[in-house]
Amino acid sequence: MSAPLLWIVVPFLGGVLILLLLRERYSAWAGGALSAVLALIALIFPIDTALLLGTVSLKISPSIQFFGRSFEFAKADGPLLAIIYGVAALWFFGTEASGTANRFVSLGLMIVSLLTASIAVEPFLFAALLLEIAAMLVIPLLVPMYQKPGRGVVRFLIYQTLAMPFILFSGWMLAGVEASPGDLGTTTQAGTMLGLGFAFLLAVFPLYNWIPMLMEESSPYATGFLLWALPTFTVVFALGFLDRYTWLRTTPQLASAIQFAGIVMVASGGIFASLQRHIGRMLGYATIAETGLLILIMGLRSSEIVNLTFLILIPRGLALAVWALALSIIKRKSYSLLFSEVQGLARSYPITVAALILAHLSMAGFPLLAGFPARLAIWQELAGQSLSTTVWVFVGMLGLLVAAIRTLAVFVMVEEQKWGINESWVQIAMLGLGVIGLFILGMFPQILQPFLADLPSLFNRLGQ
Amino acid sequence: MLILISCLLLFVTALTLIILRVLQPTARYTWLVAASGGILSLLSVFLWLTQMPFEFVLPAWQPVSLFATPILFRADEISWPFSISIAALTLATVLTASARPVFVNDFAWMGALALGGVGILAVTADNPLTLLLVWAFLDLTELLTQLRSVDGKANNEKVVISFSTRAFGLALLLWANIVSAGEGSTVNFQSMSASSGLFLVAAAGLRLGVFPLHLPYSSESTLRRGFGTSLRLISAASSMVVLAHTPVESLNSIITPFLITLALIASVYGGWMWLRAPDELNGRPYWIISLVSLSMVSALSGNPTGVIAWGCALILVGGALFLTSVQITWLNRVMLISVWSLSTLPFSLTASAWLGRLGIFTPFVIATQALTVAGFIRHVVRPPERELLDTQPGWARAVYPTGIFLLIIMQVTLGLIGWNGALQVGAWLQALIASLLTFGLVWATPRFRILNPIRAHWVTSTASRLNGIYQGFWTLYRVLARLSQAIIVTLEGEGGIMWTLLFLALFVSILTQGSP
């Protein structure tokens, strides 16, 4: 068995089979179980290393050829695949509790497999094509059948599609830069093209307005999944660029531009979140702020870029899943996520509200919760470089904190009403496990160390 | 390790009570279990004296290259007096529960025991990271218990606002940590940079309701005597401990006198309202404001020992008064020993309170102290109608006063042994003047109408919309909301893509200006 077959083809086929054969009831468990098994395999069986099980020798070969292109996974990709499929399993197990249709699991599996292919493909510029195909597959996930797509969906597709030519064009120019590194004109043009490509992909300010729009018009769970999956893989893709091209890392102007973009996203995301009256849009702005943090990390002059990035990505997956699930449950009850519609829900849906608030606080970097250790590390790293940058990041996180407190105030503002639990047992179990996970990751981030320890070797030069 | 043992004794006892409540809901020995846990914990904190100073370090967060600061607890002359006070308060809460009208294996006992454990962890926290985690735990616990115990829109809103002020206090502590990290010193409070000192004071001030003056806790909560007292006092003490860690060099700032003035305004207000409060439970928020402001003045005047003295007084003297729910004449008289503890006279618990540089602020400090002590005397000697102990069983009649007596004994003991502030002569002349003024106020209280009890009017709890500062923030918030709405409508409207691309072109041109 080769690794690309196992982690790209199998989940893609699994998605197709679930779409065609399984009923909605079983799809969540099937998709979740498949993802969990793939995560466990990635964790237990090292790629390209023979394992003896009794008399049987097992070896997962690292690559496969496909139409002249190669898909390769190195041994160090194991923890990354475990993280990807582990978090994806959480999302798929949560679909039943969220009441999302079975298309979510099948399309979700296909999207994850395509995105996984994007980090394995060689030449790696083809990742842009795979990201574009994945973005297209997201559309049926966001738009219910026989319904006209909303403005947010259209804008999402436009921006993702615009990203592809910029990335491919920059790839062509980068070859020229490698050939003549002294040509500053070409270098600037290549850097600008690449920057624009990633600006569209990562929804850098002001290209992020489709995110809150999507949160308003589409299913919160599906949109939450999209907001977890796309930035995660795009960031890994971007790290690959930084790792490959030395001049990208060493050009001070580029590093400043990356930092500036990150700061604007963090600060504006946090401030806009604090001013919203729609709890779905708040999630959108929180993810924008967090993507800003990831971009900011890429611009740091530090050997800890990879560690910091993954320290954010894992809790992000969990917090987003819990938050999106809670939003889905609330939306099924109140049909709208406006403050006026969800006021006083804390007493009738206490577990959902508690999970939502804790996930929100986690993204704001509240101590004890999953997002805190990563933010603390970023702040400490930033403080050594620039206190003014740190101030803006701090402002962004304060904005998210204000948003969380406003949401909490709206949820608890109710006249005399008895406490009661109206969530189903599946919802209680999923939200409960998610919240426990948030606390565990917040108090003991060292449990991520088995995943994080080998990841820097994926990007050797970034750690230098 | 002893720190862990003391806390574990409380946590394990709380856990045992939960298990007993599930398995044997009618068991009659649960109170004994709770009291035994409390006694053992108190004794174990005394044992710290044999090994002090010592540290307890939890396994470091990883990767170590990112997390240089470990989670660290330290028993020393700052944390020990706070810890012993918290352990004593926890035990006293359980002992005095024997005289409560409903005497069953109550969640309040478990809460008080667990809270005691967390409180000890908070006061022994030796770096901002550790304290942040413990504060966050306390804040979330308080938010949860308050939301469960209050009713009505306005009260719920007050709880959220209280939580928000404490959360912003957390943010200030975090900022102090970041500033210190930027200068390369984060391992513990002792090595924190001077520039972070005022942020520490501001963090504590915000959480305690001093900067800006507000009442962080609502008085309408149903959490009154037992667990309510523990929660209020331990929560306040956990914030006060930061003041004792403030680097003295940071107090040379130009804004220090300004902060002292603010703290004095808060303390005079707190003392005045405490003196005029209708009863001790309604006056409790003012008692806390008054004492924490005095401790803040101590810290800002360069006397961290004074913070510890006021902190212990807050817990032990306040605990004795607020846990008293039964009318016993002789016990009321014994409680007057606490007046000695608050007097700052030589060898008292607060003898070391005024060793700093107070300068022109001295008269105001004396006035505040006198108001606070006079208020205490008034609430002790003129208690509201309370139940009698005669209806309780014999053992409860013996145990209940023991709980109150324990807190009084601890006040006297702490004045004599175990820490830097013990056996101090202190500023005796200042103490004498404050004492004379106190007795003057006690004499005048029944004779002058202005000193008679009324309810608070110009500063209410944090929810007050009339407060100018909050109103200002709210106006700013609304302006920002309108501005953001205008931006959002522009970017998300029909011409949004064009506007977005225009912005993008603008940013690219700005950024490329700096490139070759």
A280 contacts chain B (CB < 8 A): no
My answer on whether B448 and B498 are in the same domain is: no
B454 with B484, same domain? no
Same-domain status, B451 and B496: no
Distance, in angstroms, between B157 CA and closest chain A CA? 6
Which one of A196, A201, A209, A393 makes the best mutation probe of the B interface by having the most chain B beta carbons within 10 Å? A209
Q: Which residue has the tokens 């949401």?
A: A407
Q: Do B484 and A272 touch (CB under 8 A)?
A: yes
Nearest by CB: B152 against A257, A415, A452: A415
Look at residue A250 and tell me whether its pLDDT is greater than 90.
no
Confidence of residue B37 (pLDDT cuts 50, 70, 90): very high
**Higher local confidence (pLDDT), A245 or A412:** A412
- B225, B323 contact by CB (below 8 A): yes
A residues 7-36 near B, CB within 8 Å? Answer: none
For residue B393, the model assigns a pLDDT of 74
Interface test with chain B among A248, A305, A345, A366, by most B beta carbons within 10 Å: A366
Chain A residue at shortest CA distance from B162: A405
Q: Is A381 on the interface with B (CB under 8 A)?
A: yes
- Domain layout of chain A by residue ranges: 1-122, 123-458
Q: What pLDDT shows up at residue B88?
A: 95
pLDDT in the model for residue A302: 82
ipTM: 0.90
| Inter-chain residue contact B184 with A384, CB threshold 8 Å | yes
Kindly indicate the confidence band of residue B456, based on its pLDDT and cuts at 50, 70 and 90: very low
pLDDT at A369: 95
For residue A12, name the pLDDT band (cuts at 50, 70, 90).
Answer: very high
Are the beta carbons of B136 and A366 separated by less than 8 Å?
yes
Nearest to B147 among A212, A402, A412 (CB): A412
Task: Report residue B453's pLDDT band, with 50, 70 and 90 as the boundaries.
Answer: low
The predicted structure's pLDDT at residue A54: 76
Q: Could you tell me which residue, A116 or B419, shows the higher pLDDT?
A: A116
Give the residue-averaged pLDDT of B158-180. Answer: 90
Do B498 and B457 fall into the same domain?
no
Tell me the pTM.
0.89
Report the number of secondary-structure helices (H) and strands (E) in chain B.
18, 4
Quick one: pLDDT band at residue B457, thresholds 50, 70, 90?
Answer: very low
pLDDT band per the 50, 70, 90 thresholds, residue A438? very high
End-to-end CA distance of chain A, in Å? 34
pLDDT at B186: 63
Residue A207 contacts B, CB cutoff 8 Å: yes
pLDDT at A83: 92
Q: What are the E-state strand segments in B12-84?
A: 54-57, 72-75
Split at pLDDT 50, 70, 90, the class of B216 is low
Q: Which residue of B has its CA nearest to A452?
A: B63
Dihedral-angle region of residue A48 (phi above 0 means left; psi in -120 to 50 means alpha; beta otherwise): left
- Identify which of B85, B87, B460 has the alpha carbon closest to the alpha carbon of residue B285: B460
* A 288-347: CB under 8 A from B: 304, 307-308, 311, 346
Of the partner residues A188, A367, A384, the one whose CB lies closest to the CB of residue B132? A367
| Contact between A445 and B129 using a beta-carbon 8 Å cutoff | no
Q: What is residue A200's predicted lDDT score, i.e. its pLDDT?
A: 92
pLDDT tens-digit series, residues A231-249: 999 999 899 888 888 777 7
What would the DSSP string read from start to end of A244-304?
A: H-HHHHH-HHHHHHHHHHHHHHHHHHHHHHHT-SBHHHHHHHHHHHHHHHHHHHHT--STT
Percent of chain B at pLDDT exceeding 90: 21
Chain A 67-96, CB below 8 Å of chain B: which residues? none
Residue of B nearest to A186 (CA): B516
Residue B333 pLDDT: 84
Highest mean pLDDT range out of A399-403, B181-185, B512-516? A399-403
Quick check: B516 and A188 CB within 8 A?
yes
Interface residue of B509, B511, B513 to substitute, partner A, most A CBs within 10 Å: B511
pLDDT at B47 over 50: yes
- CB-nearest to B515 from A188, A206, A367 is A188
**Per the domain annotation, does B240 fall within a domain?**
yes
Give the pLDDT band of residue B318 (cuts 50, 70, 90).
Answer: very high
- Helix-then-strand count for chain A, H and E: 20, 5
What is the least distance, in Å, from the CA of A41 to any CA of chain B?
24
Task: Name chain A contacts of B163, Cβ cutoff 8 Å.
Answer: 405, 408
Nearest CB partner across the interface for A373, out of B61, B182, B492: B61
Show the DSSP H helices in B107-225 as ranges: 107-124, 128-149, 153-182, 197-208
Which of A167-171, A315-319, A356-360, B11-15 comes out lowest in average pLDDT? Answer: A167-171
Q: What percent of chain A has pLDDT over 70?
A: 99
Residue-wise pLDDT for A386-410, tens only, equals 888 899 999 999 999 999 999 999 9
CA dist list (Å): A135 to A147, A159, B420: 19, 10, 66
**From CA B368, how far away is CA B290, in angstroms rounded?**
8
Q: Which residue of chain B is at minimal alpha-carbon distance from A308?
A: B66
Please determine, for residue A367, whether its predicted confidence score (pLDDT) is greater than 80: yes
pLDDT of residue B217: 58
Instruction: Please indicate whether, in this complex, the C-beta atoms of B167 and A405 are within 8 angstroms of each other.
Output: yes
Average pLDDT estimate for B202-225: 70
Residue B469 falls within a domain, yes or no?
Answer: no
Closest CA to A85 of A124, A119, A61: A119
Task: Indicate yes or no: CB of B504 within 8 angstroms of CB of A415.
Answer: no
Q: Is B423 inside a domain boundary?
A: yes
What is the helix (H) or strand (E) element at residue A177, kind and residue range? helix A151-179
For position B223, what pLDDT does the model report?
57
Please list, in sequence order, all residues whose beta carbon lies within 8 angstroms of the beta carbon of residue B475, skipping any fewer than 6 positions away: none
Q: Which residue of A has its CA nearest to B159?
A: A409
Same domain, B386 and B458: yes
Mean pLDDT score across all residues of chain B: 83
CB B303 within 8 A of CB B355: yes
Residues B249 and B105 in one domain: yes
Cβ-defined contact of A412 to B159 (cutoff 8 Å): yes
The span from the CA of B436 to the CA of B252, in Å, is 33
Q: Which of B216-220, B398-402, B472-476 has the highest mean pLDDT?
A: B398-402
Q: What pLDDT is stored for residue A328 in this prediction?
A: 94
Question: For residue A376, which of B250, B67, B206 has the smallest C-alpha distance?
Answer: B67
pLDDT at B465: 45
Tens-place pLDDT, residues B483-507: 888 888 888 887 888 888 888 888 7
CA distances from B489 to A384, B344, B503 (A): 38, 62, 15
* Residues B307 and B282 occupy one common structural domain: yes
Summarize pLDDT for A322-341 with one digit per residue, the tens. 999 999 999 988 888 999 99
Instruction: Tell me how close the Cα of B490 comes to any Cα of chain A, in angstroms.
Output: 10
Q: Which residues of B touch A311 (CB under 8 A)?
A: 66
Confidence (pLDDT) at A299: 87
Q: Which DSSP helix (H) or strand (E) runs through A58?
A: strand A56-58
Q: Does A367 touch chain B (CB under 8 A)?
A: yes
Contact B492, A213 (CB under 8 A): yes
Task: Report yes or no: A51 at the B interface, CB cutoff 8 Å.
Answer: no
Mean pLDDT of the region B364-390:
82
Q: Are residues B401 and B479 in the same domain?
A: no
Q: Is residue B470 part of a domain?
A: no
Answer whether A206 touches B (CB < 8 Å): yes
Q: What is the mean pLDDT of chain A?
A: 89
Cβ of A271 within 8 Å of Cβ of B178? The answer is: no
Specify whether B282 is located in the same domain as B315: yes
Range of the domain at B503: 475-513
Q: Are the Cβ atoms of B504 and A253 closer than 8 angstroms?
A: no
The verdict on B167 and B216 lying in the same domain is yes
Interchain proximity A401–B167, CB inside 8 Å = yes
Is A405 near chain B, with CB under 8 Å? Answer: yes
pLDDT band of B458, cuts 50, 70, 90: very low
Looking up tokens 């917090």 gives A319
- Give residue B384's pLDDT: 59
Inspect the interface and report whether the beta carbons of A414 and B156 lie closer than 8 Å: yes
Claim to verify: residue B249 and residue B286 sit in the same structural domain: yes
On chain B, the residues whose CB falls within 8 A of the CB of A79 are none
Residues of chain B in contact with residue A409, where contact means CB-CB under 8 angstroms, are 156-157, 160-161
On whether residue B244 sits in a domain, the answer given is yes
Chain A residues with CB under 8 Å of B62 CB are 445-446, 448-449, 452
Cβ-defined contact of A253 to B511 (cutoff 8 Å): yes
Q: Of residues A421 and A253, which shows the higher confidence score?
A: A421
Q: What is the structure's pLDDT at B466?
A: 46
CB contact under 8 A, A207 and B135: no
> How many domains does the structure of chain B reveal?
2
Measuring CA to CA, how many Å separate A230 from each of A223, A462, B348?
11, 22, 65
Q: Give mean pLDDT, residues B385-394.
A: 70
Task: List CB contacts (< 8 A) between A275 and chain B.
Answer: 477, 480-481, 484-485
| B59, B481, B496: residue with CB nearest A275 | B481
B212 and B180 share one domain: yes
Residue of chain A with shortest Cα separation from B481: A275
Closest-CA distance, B469 to chain A, in angstroms, reads 17
Q: What is the pLDDT of residues B66-105, one digit of tens each?
A: 888 889 999 988 899 999 999 999 999 988 887 766 555 5
Residues contacting B24, CB < 8 A, separation 6+ = none
> Which pLDDT value is given to residue B516?
42
Q: What is the rounded distance in angstroms from the CA atom of residue A203 to the CA atom of residue A235?
A: 12
Q: Which helix (H) or strand (E) holds A71?
A: strand A69-72
Strand duo A63-66 + A56-58: pairing: unpaired
Tell the residue number behind the tokens 């599946």, with chain if given.
A426
Q: Residue A112, exposed/middle/buried by CB under 10 A (0-12, 13-18, 19+)? A: buried
Burial class of residue A76, CB neighbours in 10 A (0-12, 13-18, 19+): middle
